[in-house]
Structures are given as C-alpha cells and as structure tokens.
Chain A
Amino acid sequence: EAGVAQSPRYKIIEKRQSVAFWCNPISGHATLYWYQQILGQGPKLLIQFQNNGVVDDSQLPKDRFSAERLKGVDSTLKIQPAKLEDSAVYLCASSLFGLAGGSTDTQYFGPGTRLTVL
C-alpha cells in the first residue's frame, strides 16, 4: 500500500514570495491533515479536511495561509506571502475513517516538505 506522498521535499524561497505544497493521501482515506513542525517542536495542526470540507482550521494563519482539497483527494497548502517564521517542515497526514473513527482513527504521515524562508 502506497503511503502519503508529498512534494516538493525541499523548498527555499525569499521572504514575501509565495509557495505551494502538494499532498496525495493514502487511497480511500477520508481525512487529511496539514501540520507545521518548527525545528525543536512537535507538529502543530494547521487544518483538517473531511473529504473536501474543512473540519478545523482554527490554527491556520488565514491572512497568509490557504489550503484546499479538491474532489476530496489531493490537497495543496499555500503560503502567500511567506515570512521568516514560516520556516518549518510541513507534514501531511491522512486517516481512514474520518468522523466515524473519531479520535481513535490512526493518522499516517508523509515525509514532509522542508521550507526555508530567507
């Protein structure tokens, strides 16, 4: 079974530029998550999708971050414009059951995209 795919793996940009990350979840997984992992910290949830609807985006900085999950499969996370403090690893995860599984649903993580903002 293929895992969660993410691209690119690495990205270096100047501050105030825009950047986009792509995630392809495990086939059939209803729920998709984007996390931000700053160096030395644990992952922090940015946004959670159930199929193509947003379940929780309370920690997403909406003035510069946006995310979408068209057709309930792939997802993109965009930052526009980027700031120095956005330097982090952006992790995508997916889980199978979504609402039916509740908090017991296991999340499977992709390898992440390491973003460096100069």
Chain B
Amino acid sequence: AQSVTQPDIHITVSEGASLELRCNYSYGATPYLFWYVQSPGQGLQLLLKYFSGDTLVQGIKGFEAEFKRSQSSFNLRKPSVHWSDAAEYFCAVGAADSWGKLQFGAGTQVVVTP
C-alpha cells in the first residue's frame, strides 16, 4: 500500500521569499502524485499533478514540483511567496492498482509574514 510523509508540520516564510515543501512517498511502482492547497474554510484545490513524463511539473499560482524517483520525493516549490499563499498544503499519492483512492499526507501549514 502507498503512503505519504510530509516531514514539516508548520513552515513560516517571509513574503517574497522562496518556499519549498517536502513530500516523500512509499510505493513500489510509479506513483501518481498530487499537491493540493486548502485555505481556511475551503475545500482542497489541486495545484498540480504528476503522472509520467517530464519530472518537473508546473502548476497554478506559480507553483512547481519535481518528481525524484531515486529519493521517493515530490517537493513543491514557489520562487516568491505572496501573503495569499498562507494555507495548508497536502501531498497525495495514487496508484494504478488502487484506482481513484488517494493517500494524503498530514499536511504542512504555511504562514507568511510581512
């Protein structure tokens, strides 16, 4: 069965600084990987997803993520953070043999300071 670890529970970053959120997965074959963002009182919004091909994936809101098979990682990055990026971020993994069933990490809370 697949699993996801987000090592950082909470990250504080200054507005304009870069942001990197870590995600490590465990799965025997090639996983399908997702990053979602959840703002207070809102549902989850898909930022980006990786299925195959180019390991650097571009998403919405200026986010990108890089799939590194050798490190079992799918880290999310943004070069310059805006105050509106304050939210909780979830990494999720799906698998071809567990169709539609996503395993989510525990999330990373991002706080943006002026």
Q: Taking beta carbons and an 8 Å cutoff, which residues of A are in contact with B? A: 3-4, 31, 33, 40-45, 48, 55-56, 91, 93, 95, 98-99, 102-112
Report the bound CA distance from A4 to B46 in whole Å.
14
For window 90-114 of B, CB contacts with A under 8 Å fall at 90, 92, 94-96, 98-102, 104-107
**Do B43 and A4 touch (CB < 8 A)?**
yes
Output the least CB separation between B73 and chain A (Å).
17
Smallest Cβ-Cβ distance to B109: which chain A residue: A40
Output the least CB separation between B63 and chain A (Å).
16
- Main SS of the interface on chain B? loop
Number of cross-chain contacts by CB at 8 Å: 66
**Do A45 and B43 touch (CB < 8 A)?**
no
**Do B41 and A105 touch (CB < 8 A)?**
no
CB within 8 Å for A104 and B45 given contacts A42-B106, A45-B102, A56-B100: no
